[in-house]
Amino acid sequence: MSDLLGIVGSVSTPSKTRAAIEISLQAAENEFDVNTEILHLAEYDLDIADGRKLDEYTGDTADALNLIINSSAFLIGTPVYRGSYSGALKNLFDLIPRGQWQSDEAPLEDRPIGLIATGATDHHYLSISHELEPIASFFGSHQVGSGVYVNSSQFDDHQVTDKEIIARLETLGKATIELSKAVDNAQYLSQLGPQF
């Protein structure tokens, strides 16, 4: 089981998005001695979501979904294409159960999600609030802060070099674990879930 799972919605390697998520994961590990893992979509051959029940998926798709189901908190990162998250990440969202007809599992419900987006320029900054936040809300997740956006000028050779961004990514990782602990110990935070 992973205390904090980093989901990289990029199908490229090397990946700037993965580099950003790794900074957040490492900071959480260092601060709280937690178990972290990465689900990088470039390393998985996922089925296209087609409405199957959860237990009907096999191979990489089943492995990815089991990793999500067995995690307590999430960092979800994506490159931004056409103002939104990647198609590969959209497919993964379509595969994740929501505790209704597909499966009784609802791994993102009432769990913290830290959001990260990477893009060429700052004009994609609002993709976190306009694209990623609504999907987190759909799953009934608790978003951690306002997320972190990293533009291409803040990287060098697929590594984040901007010190302020690095510090923000580190804070996001630690805050995601902090919120996870708060949810686990709270009377009401774990009862909101999605309204519909």
Domain of 175, CATH number, reads: 3.40.50.360
**pLDDT higher than threshold 90 for residue 6:** yes
Percent of the chain's residues with pLDDT above 70: 100
Q: Which pLDDT belongs to residue 189?
A: 87
**pLDDT higher than threshold 90 for residue 194:** no
3-state secondary structure 7-52: EECCCCCCCHHHHHHHHHHHHHHHHHCCCEEEEEHHHCCCCCCCCC
Torsion angle, CA of 113/114/115/116, rounded to 10 degrees? -140
* Residue 36 domain flag: yes
* Residue 111 domain flag: yes
**Could you tell me the residue range of the domain that residue 133 belongs to?**
4-191
> Per residue in 125-145, pLDDT tens?
899 999 999 999 999 999 999
Cα→Cα distances 100→61, 62, 105, 189, Å:
19, 18, 8, 20
Q: Are 184 and 190 in contact (CB under 8 A)?
A: yes
* Residue 196 domain flag: no
* Residue 62 domain flag: yes
Q: Is residue 192 very low, low, confident or very high in pLDDT (cuts 50, 70, 90)?
A: confident
Q: Could you give the number of structural domains in the chain?
A: 1
* Residue 85 domain flag: yes
Q: Which pLDDT belongs to residue 133?
A: 96
* Residue 152 domain flag: yes
Mean pLDDT across the chain:
95
* Residue 48 domain flag: yes
* Residue 118 domain flag: yes
> Per residue in 21-73, pLDDT tens?
999 999 999 999 999 999 999 999 999 999 999 999 999 999 999 999 999 99
